[in-house]
Structure 1
Amino acid sequence: MRQRIAILGLLACYLAIGGRLVQFGAQPPEQAVAWPSPPSKARPDILDRNGVVLAMDLPSASIYAEPRKIVDLDEAVEGLTGVFPDLDPKALRRRLDSKAAFAWVRRTTTLAERDAVWALGIPGVGIRDELRRFYPNGRAAAHVLGAVNVDNIGIAGMEKWIDGQGLQALRLTGLETTRDGLEPVRLSLDLRAQHALADELGAAVEKFQAKAGAGLVMDIATGEVVALVSLPDFDPNVPADALKPDHINRVAVGTYEMGSTFKAMTTAMALDSGRFQIGSVIDASAPLRFGRFAIRDYRGQNRPLNVPESFIHSSNIAMGKMAMAIGSDHQRAFLRSLGQLDRLATELPESAQPLYPSRWAELNTATISFGHGIAVTPLQASMGIAAVVNDGRVLRPTFVKDAPLAERILAEGAVTPRTSEALRYLMRLNAKVGSAAKADIDGYHIGGKTGTSEKVVNGRYDSGTVLTAFMGIAPAHAPRYLFLTVLDEPKPLKETFGFRTSGWNAVPTTGRVMSRILPMLEGTAKWTAPADPFPAMAAARAWGSNLFRPRLAMTGERP
């Protein structure tokens, strides 16, 4: 009897198991894991102009869980927090203690972490092989490179631009891509110059206790950006840092009143109009008055000034009078021809609209002549200065090496070659005897224009809070490279005798940048000034001995 009962019990168990198997077989197959996002796809390497890797893909893995399949919750939480100590055990337990079909545990882990999870053998915990973007140089060129999200999709900078050049469309086709199957993207940046610029700019921000700093090196002939730094910066390996408000790209996105650097464009406009010559004299002996508002010179000469004197002494009065003599309409058209009144579009998705008055009155004409009342990006201002020293060719800047030149020419002949030579002459003169003298370095024949602008605080200009800038060119007689340094709210020091103007901070900083970068750039070792670097300026040199003598003539009159 006992044997019969045992046999019947076993048969009942087998029948129950068989019936359950038939039931499972009759049901539709269980759906695969409902992934919240597709697996990350390969991206092309990003190289600098010399072939150095700036960004690349590395093998990675993501750890996920299927909570309803976890057998031992405590074991799962203990094992996973052992591999990932930074995970919050309570939060992880809440995430896994559910009947959900899917939950991420950790995205983009290292291969060692993947292997450690695999060794745990926790039921209900799985691994998905993916790719992780890696930036081997850390913070270098972060604002140009941009960043990708956890799914390896570009969200900023050149990474986002690359997606728009066909990579995203390739993903949507479902075709499998590999790193080896994608052609690397070569940028115009030189990593050596990038490190040197970041090093010197960082030292200047620290020394002068500035709120922020920005810098740029651009090839004037091609518009290629050789280096770009904006401080504070971020590590693109930690893309969340890029979202902090003070980590914006100040060169391409920040808009600032660039101060007296704009006087280079105003002087070019005045000379190109034909109403002023290099020897024309403007009376700067008294302030320009508009009702209760007066325009004065910083450390003014209080006398008539010729054009070179107006440029070197950075006279607001002289610039305002020249601009008003030419007229608001001409000034607005001239600045637009240099790309200063429209949003500048480059490969970088991030850009900013320039700010200027909708009603361009005579007072606006005067203040805009010396860089107040108009705010542009430093990259935009650099493009304008590069154009007036490059025979009037306005080139849209690029961050891609050997980008086609013809499609980036925004204007030809914005100024005449003679006007362009005059600006090169004035910028060289300013580096020899003017406010840019602290940037002059032996062997490279540089020129430049300084700028110090008061910032608006609580709706009013504050003389104690300034933005300083310097635009330098090298070599001055045939410019190849433009250097820009911007310091936001630098502090006066004992060694600067209490001054906080550009000539005491941005200028010497640019001089150090030039001395480090120029020797490493192509072709710069052979730069020597010709015997007659500015042949069209012979008339100016003829009365050069009287260059700084007071003039008695009034506006527009020649000596």
Structure 2
Amino acid sequence: MSFLSRIMLLKSQAHFSTDVQRGGAVVAGPRIQGTAKRKSAMAKNRVGLMIAGFCVVYAIIGGRLVQYGQAQPETVSSILPADRLMASRPDILDRNGEVLATDIRTVSLFAEPHKIVDPDEAVERLATVLTDLDIKGTYKKLSSKSRFQWLRRQLTPKQQSQILALGIPGIGFRPEKRRFYPGGSTASHIVGYVNIDNRGMTGMEKYIDNQGLADLRALGMTSDTPLEPVKLSIDIRVQNIVRDVLVDAMAKFKSIGAGGVVLDAHTGEVIAMASLPDFDPNNPAGSEEGWLSRMANGTFEMGSTFKSFTIAMGLDSGKVSLKDSFDARYPIRIGGFTIKDFHGKNRILTVPEIFQYSSNIGTAKVADLVGTDAHKEFLTRLGLLTKMQTELPEVAMPSQPREWKKINSITISFGHGVSTTPLQTAVAGVALVNGGKLIEPTFLPRTREQADLVAKQVIKPSTSDDMRFLFEWNGIKGSGKNARVEGFDVGGKTGTADKVVNGRYVGDKNFNAFLAAFPIDNPRYVVLTFIDEPKTDKGNGAALAGNSAAPMVGEIIRRSAAILGVEPKFGEDGSALLVSY
């Protein structure tokens, strides 16, 4: 037996020996655990570890089940949670709390192309629900190597349910907020609209973003918590009336545009403002012509409505009084131009008659008496030559001659040579009848006390008294007769302006406007309407402002005066009552 074999034999015997004799004495040796016992212990340890592992796994599963049971439905695997870009926007309300714009919950469809098993099949199945699906474009997205692709934004609940039933792997939904406008086009140019990512693009929607909402969103500090509503000065009932009147007028006169505004004469609040064509903010892409707000973002020569400001300038300067007269028998020739009256009386006219007959000659002589520099200063003081300040982002800058000469002052006196926005003209008109205070317009609620803090005295109260007299005079005896409403003493001034085409004034295309106030003895509201290029059976230029724009004002007042809280007055002293049996 070799040495190595003996060593192996002794090691094997050592497993079963419990004593070793050393020098004749018995010594207790180390007890070595047997193989069977050691295997049993290892088995027990493994079973214990398996039990512990199963307990942990079931605990995790149970915890997740509880979590899913308490979670919102959209957090399931196919519908991801909304990101902060879809944070809530505040509701927009009218002055009475009626909703003009609000958020509604919706979902958008997306794909994770790396999880798509068969792009062809996925496209075919999606097309059964989304019948207008771009087949080639969608297939390209699903076949790409990207990990995320939008397929359709803002689905209807029915579409979502049908797509879920298809059970396509790699297709999911993301909760989003969609802006909804219950009134549709009724106040579109005021309220504005948002883009697909719920960001304000125009109107008060953009104004809200500019007040800090967009900055908070960019910093990730917004959430889906409902925000405090934004209340406007608009009365949706009056707004609907104004737009309805404009729609009827456009159809009647086959015009290319129309507009109207109702202003509170003491607070500057815009109660209603509409411009046609308009658009539906629920589907802004569906309109091609309605983007321009002609009331605030369009500039026009306002024609003879400007004679109101020229006469007011003369009265306020002290160089003209209501008792003065001007010779309107002969045309004015200046700078190669001849200025004459449309329906000339060929006689000397008093100031009220100049206003009543809308005399270009008489108005030009008033402006000449005051002077060119003073004329420019007066119109600037009334805010007609500078950009109007208000909440709407879409506000146009007026245009005026680079250098004012005498010929410019004379033509501007009767409304040619300066282009302003209709809203701007109405705001300046407010100052003529409210005691001489220019109040910048607002689309937000404002009290009379708050208005007094921002108001500027631009003309004398006595001048305002005289202008109210002239407005009423013209309403009774002049071109404003068609705007009169029984019981509501409407006064105002018409304006029929020839439009400029290729640098020349043309007589068959008019811009007609009417500036009015009521009740004229103590005006509470100023109303301005216009109609662009009205047409009649007698020709395109036959529809004058007295027959087109003035009746529009009358209809607006007739239908909205009661809503605005203006009580009618009947009889000579206003004390008579209208009794119906």
Asked if these proteins are the same fold (TM beyond 0.5), I'd say yes
Residue correspondence of structure 1 range 478-557 to structure 2 within 5 A = 478-493=522-537, 499-522=542-565, 524-525=566-567, 531=573
Q: Structure with the greater relative contact order (CA < 8 A, sep ≥ 6): 1 or 2?
A: 1
Check whether the contact 1:430–1:437 (CA below 8 A) recurs between aligned residues.
Answer: yes
Residue in 2 that maps onto 1:61: 107
Cα gap change, 1:498 to 1:157, in 2 (>3 Å):
closer
Corresponding position: 1:429 with 2:476? no
Residue in 2 that maps onto 1:184: 229
Residue in 2 that maps onto 1:469: 513
Residue in 2 that maps onto 1:115: 161
Residue in 2 that maps onto 1:86: 132
Cα gap change, 1:257 to 1:498, in 2 (>3 Å):
closer
- CA–CA separation in structure 2 for the residues paired with 1:509 and 1:117: 51
Residue in 1 that maps onto 2:88: 42
Cα gap change, 1:390 to 1:489, in 2 (>3 Å):
same
> 1:121-162: per-residue Cα shift (whole Å, max 9, x none)?
211211111110000111110000001011111011000101
SS state at 2:522 partner = coil
- CA–CA separation in structure 2 for the residues paired with 1:417 and 1:179: 50
- CA–CA separation in structure 2 for the residues paired with 1:451 and 1:434: 12
CA displacement at 1:389 relative to structure 2: 1.0
- CA–CA separation in structure 1 for the residues paired with 2:543 and 2:520: 26
- CA–CA separation in structure 1 for the residues paired with 2:392 and 2:224: 25
Cα gap change, 1:260 to 1:154, in 2 (>3 Å):
same
Corresponding position: 1:362 with 2:402? no
Residue in 2 that maps onto 1:13: none
> 1:447-480: per-residue Cα shift (whole Å, max 9, x none)?
0100000000111000111100001110001111
1:292 to 336, 360, 373: 336
Cα gap change, 1:497 to 1:350, in 2 (>3 Å):
closer
2:211 to 160, 165, 172: 165
CA displacement at 1:405 relative to structure 2: 5.9
CA displacement at 1:88 relative to structure 2: 2.0
Cα gap change, 1:498 to 1:454, in 2 (>3 Å):
closer
Residue correspondence of structure 1 range 96-495 to structure 2 within 5 A = 96-178=142-224, 180=226, 182-241=227-286, 244-402=288-446, 406=450, 412-493=456-537
SS state at 2:443 partner = coil
CA displacement at 1:396 relative to structure 2: 0.5
Check whether the contact 2:490–2:516 (CA below 8 A) recurs between aligned residues.
Answer: yes
Cα gap change, 1:416 to 1:192, in 2 (>3 Å):
same
Structure 1 residues 334-343 or 161-170, which shifts more?
161-170
- CA–CA separation in structure 2 for the residues paired with 1:65 and 1:151: 18
Check whether the contact 2:106–2:154 (CA below 8 A) recurs between aligned residues.
Answer: yes
- CA–CA separation in structure 2 for the residues paired with 1:376 and 1:276: 26
Check whether the contact 2:495–2:512 (CA below 8 A) recurs between aligned residues.
Answer: yes
Task: Give the count of matched residue pairs.
Answer: 497
CA displacement at 1:73 relative to structure 2: 1.0
Residue in 2 that maps onto 1:544: none
What one-letter code is carried by the residue in structure 1 that aligns with 2:386? D
Cα gap change, 1:357 to 1:532, in 2 (>3 Å):
farther
Cα gap change, 1:439 to 1:87, in 2 (>3 Å):
same
Check whether the contact 2:86–2:224 (CA below 8 A) recurs between aligned residues.
Answer: no
What one-letter code is carried by the residue in structure 1 that aligns with 2:473? L
CA displacement at 1:196 relative to structure 2: 0.9
Cα gap change, 1:268 to 1:219, in 2 (>3 Å):
same
SS state at 1:247 partner = coil
1:76 to 122, 128, 148: 122
- Computed over aligned residues only, the root mean square deviation of the Cα atoms, in angstroms, reads 2.3
CA displacement at 1:412 relative to structure 2: 2.7
> 1:55-82: per-residue Cα shift (whole Å, max 9, x none)?
0000011111122321011221122222
CA displacement at 1:87 relative to structure 2: 1.3
Cα gap change, 1:519 to 1:532, in 2 (>3 Å):
closer
Ranges in structure 1 where 5+ consecutive residues have no aligned partner: 1-32, 534-559
What one-letter code is carried by the residue in structure 1 that aligns with 2:567? A
Check whether the contact 1:296–1:317 (CA below 8 A) recurs between aligned residues.
Answer: yes
- CA–CA separation in structure 1 for the residues paired with 2:541 and 2:460: 41
Larger Rg: 2
> 1:471-491: per-residue Cα shift (whole Å, max 9, x none)?
111000111111111100001
Residue in 2 that maps onto 1:20: none
CA displacement at 1:101 relative to structure 2: 2.2
- CA–CA separation in structure 2 for the residues paired with 1:284 and 1:313: 11
Structure 1 residues 157-166 or 251-260, which shifts more?
157-166
> 1:313-332: per-residue Cα shift (whole Å, max 9, x none)?
00111111110110111111
Calculate the TM-score normalised by the size of structure 2.
0.82
Residue in 1 that maps onto 2:18: none
Check whether the contact 1:131–1:152 (CA below 8 A) recurs between aligned residues.
Answer: yes
What one-letter code is carried by the residue in structure 1 that aligns with 2:230? V
Cα gap change, 1:343 to 1:190, in 2 (>3 Å):
same
Ranges in structure 2 where 5+ consecutive residues have no aligned partner: 1-78, 576-581
Cα gap change, 1:47 to 1:530, in 2 (>3 Å):
farther
**Runs of 4+, deviation exceeding 4 Å:** 33-38, 403-411, 526-533
- CA–CA separation in structure 2 for the residues paired with 1:450 and 1:332: 22
CA displacement at 1:35 relative to structure 2: 12
Name the % identity.
45
Structure 1 residues 419-428 or 287-296, which shifts more?
287-296
- CA–CA separation in structure 1 for the residues paired with 2:454 and 2:506: 36
- CA–CA separation in structure 2 for the residues paired with 1:98 and 1:170: 34
Cα gap change, 1:289 to 1:377, in 2 (>3 Å):
same
Check whether the contact 2:85–2:217 (CA below 8 A) recurs between aligned residues.
Answer: no
